[in-house]
Amino acid sequence: MSQTVQTSVIESLKAPHHGPVPFSVEFFPPRDDAGEERLWRAVRIFERMHPAFVSMTYGAGGSTRERTARITGQLARETTLLPVGHLTAVNHSVAELRAVVGAFAAEGISNILALRGDPPGDPLGQWTRHPEGVEYAEELVRLVGTLGDFHVGVASFPEGHHSAPDLESDTAHLVSKLRAGADYSITQMFFEVDDYLRLRDRVVAADPEQGAKPIIPGIMPITSLASVRRMVELSGSQLPGWLDERLSAAAGPGEQEDRDAVREVGIDVATEMAQRLIAEGAPSLHFCSLNFARATGEVLQRLGMDVLVP
Ligand SMILES: Cc1cc2nc3c(=O)[nH]c(=O)nc-3n(C[C@H](O)[C@H](O)[C@H](O)COP(=O)(O)OP(=O)(O)OC[C@H]3O[C@@H](n4cnc5c(N)ncnc54)[C@H](O)[C@@H]3O)c2cc1C
């Protein structure tokens, strides 16, 4: 079904890079013309920073199926970036999943991040698979593997997935996804570096061969206290007390948070995390950009990368 026209994420991480470690950027498919303009502005700025790859999310409930494939394809054709398309199993039968993978292939995309997705409507609710779909991401990894020469990544969770009964079983399921054919994982955003390091240790202890595959830490430079609180809550996690205190002090007592002060703390924290992750041997850094280039650019600059921040 597919023809491999892209290099793999793994190859790209090994290629010469411009900073202390390679980095990558996550985008989401915009909903309107203004959003599209903002995305492309960010894309062009990031292009000059030479990320190892960029990824495009797949809307909750499979809602952005056409847009994700189309924009990921545009990134492949019209930029120098290496795009990875996210794909979730939500609301899709196996036949539909095959069709989406086919659409990625038709767009020249051979790097796919295979995810189960969250229950539509309530991300923390009870998961029910599509009657003709797949139950877990592991099955999606296998399915994509049968459809062509794709390079597949999966999600990992330093604090454990919110639905997992314990860290050990969640780690075992991550290892199963890697054994099923995934080459790497990207973590959910987190704020305690120790959680990432412990996840890495658990994977290595569970299966040294799979433990050698990159676990790419997901970092979000915080620019708004209200939105990070919302995002963290939706992922079934919480802000560590020390971070909430630092951000709340910057936000100030008023109803309107002091966005400049919060942003400054957010960039400090992301930089401190990145420095520690690099010192601890993280293979690269994956930034949740929210389709803006500036905050990530500032972190990269503070890490010593020679990037121009607009
Ligand atoms: C980097 C990253 C990118 C993401 N991008 C998107 C996106 O673009 N669109 C979107 O909608 N969501 C996205 N998500 C969110 C993700 O879809 C949800 O967190 C989802 O609930 C879990 O997906 P998963 O692929 O990890 O699922 P799975 O690996 O299937 O795990 C889901 C749960 O089932 C358990 N489990 C797994 N396998 C088994 C098994 N064999 N037996 C029993 N239990 C099992 C796991 O421990 C976990 O608790 C992303 C998450 C991350 C970290």
- Tell me, yes or no, whether 47 lies in a domain: yes
- Tell me, yes or no, whether 237 lies in a domain: no
Residue 1 has a pLDDT of 47
Q: Which domain, by its residues, includes 100?
A: 9-222+282-302
Closest atom of ligand 1 relative to the 118 alpha carbon: 21
Closest atom of ligand 1 relative to the 188 alpha carbon: 53
- The protein residue whose alpha carbon is closest to atom 17 in ligand 1 is 117
- Tell me, yes or no, whether 29 lies in a domain: yes
Q: Residues 257-275: what's their mean pLDDT?
A: 98
- Tell me, yes or no, whether 107 lies in a domain: yes
Structure confidence by residue, pLDDT tens digits, 291-303: 999 999 999 999 9
Say whether pLDDT at 116 is over 70: yes
Residues of the chain with pLDDT > 90: what percent? Answer: 88
SS3 per-residue string spanning 199-267: HHHHHHHHCHHHHCCCEECEECCCCCHHHHHHHHHHCCCCCCHHHHHHHHHHHCCCCCCCHHHHHHHHH
Residue 2 has a pLDDT of 42
- Tell me, yes or no, whether 252 lies in a domain: no
Among 9, 141, 161, which is best to mutate for testing ligand 1, by the most ligand atoms less than 8 A from CB? Answer: 161
Ligand 1 centroid to residue 155 C-alpha, Å: 6
CATH number at residue 185: 3.20.20.220
Say whether pLDDT at 184 is over 70: yes
Ligand 1 centroid to residue 82 C-alpha, Å: 23
- The protein residue whose alpha carbon is closest to atom 40 in ligand 1 is 173
- The protein residue whose alpha carbon is closest to atom 10 in ligand 1 is 117
Say whether pLDDT at 170 is over 60: yes
- Using CA atoms, how far apart are residues 45 and 154, in angstroms rounded to an integer? 27
- Tell me, yes or no, whether 245 lies in a domain: no
Measured from CB, residues less than 6 Å from any atom of ligand 1 are 57-58, 60, 86, 88, 115-118, 136-138, 155, 161, 163-164, 169-170, 173, 176-177, 186-188, 218
Q: Which member of 11, 26, 168, 233 is catalytic?
A: 26
Q: Residues 177-202: what's their mean pLDDT?
A: 98
Say whether pLDDT at 3 is over 50: no
Ligand 1 centroid to residue 137 C-alpha, Å: 6
Ligand 1 centroid to residue 75 C-alpha, Å: 25
- Tell me, yes or no, whether 131 lies in a domain: yes
Number of structural domains the chain divides into: 1
Reply yes or no on whether 26 is catalytic.
yes
- Using CA atoms, how far apart are residues 15 and 13, in angstroms rounded to an integer? 6
Residue 5 has a pLDDT of 65
- Using CA atoms, how far apart are residues 36 and 67, in angstroms rounded to an integer? 11
Ligand 1 centroid to residue 213 C-alpha, Å: 18
- Using CA atoms, how far apart are residues 227 and 163, in angstroms rounded to an integer? 23
